[in-house]
Amino acid sequence: MDQVLIDYLARWGHFLAGITWIGLLYYFNFVQGEYFKEADASSRTDAFTKLVPRALWWFRWGAMFTFLTGLIMLGFRGAGVTVDITVGAVMGTLMFLNVWLIIWPNQKIVIESNTRVKAGGEALPEAAGAAPKAALASRTNTLFSIPMLFFMGSSAHYAHGGLNSNTTALIVALVIIAAIELNGIFGKQGPMTTVRGVIVSGLVLTAILWGVVAML
């Protein structure tokens, strides 16, 4: 098959899967999470047994296919990889890992706990700790998504040069991203607790990373 066609099909698949993944990420953080804050216990339990598992299926597989098609696209770029696409790809990869290694495993515990409650049983003790871990990772992914999308776009339309000419900028950007990821695993939500807070934090992070890439 023609390499240009493969690259284009991967790009098309990347868009489709990415829209599915990020759209559901925003749904979880901007809509569902806010609803759960106001809903009564029985409504939350019902949602966790009927709605959430369906949404998480599309969410995690959207993340998987976004990641896989992204790898194909990077493979075709080869020496043409820029600082922008590297920064965006690193954040996208961390978001993918957060989905499969933190959000989904912990949400499975919460779903199982609610399923037991709905059946008249007792909640799982570990569910109380699992929910905050999933929420923090989800908020971190929402934070990352804003600069990630910026750098994915700038890689094609406003690139800041190759890796060899921007090594310092890349290192500084990756250190910042690593610090945020570590907080997403071991820290707290902080200003990301509210919808407005995570959006503003994402925009601020975008400006900081853009400044690093553009000026260093």
Q: CA dist 58 to 16, 66, 115, Å?
A: 12, 12, 20
pLDDT in tens, 27-73: 999 999 999 999 999 999 999 999 999 999 999 999 999 999 999 99
∠ CA 109-111-115, nearest 5°, is 115
Reduce the DSSP state of residue 81 to 3 states and report it. Answer: coil
Q: Of how many residues is the chain composed?
A: 216
Number of domains in the chain: 1
Whether 25 has a pLDDT exceeding 70, the answer reads: yes
CA 92 to chain centre: 7
The pTM (predicted TM-score) of the whole model is 0.94
pLDDT in tens, 120-146: 999 999 999 999 999 999 999 999 999
Q: Residue 37 sits in which domain range?
A: 3-215
Residues in CB range of 171: below 8 A, 6 or more apart:
none
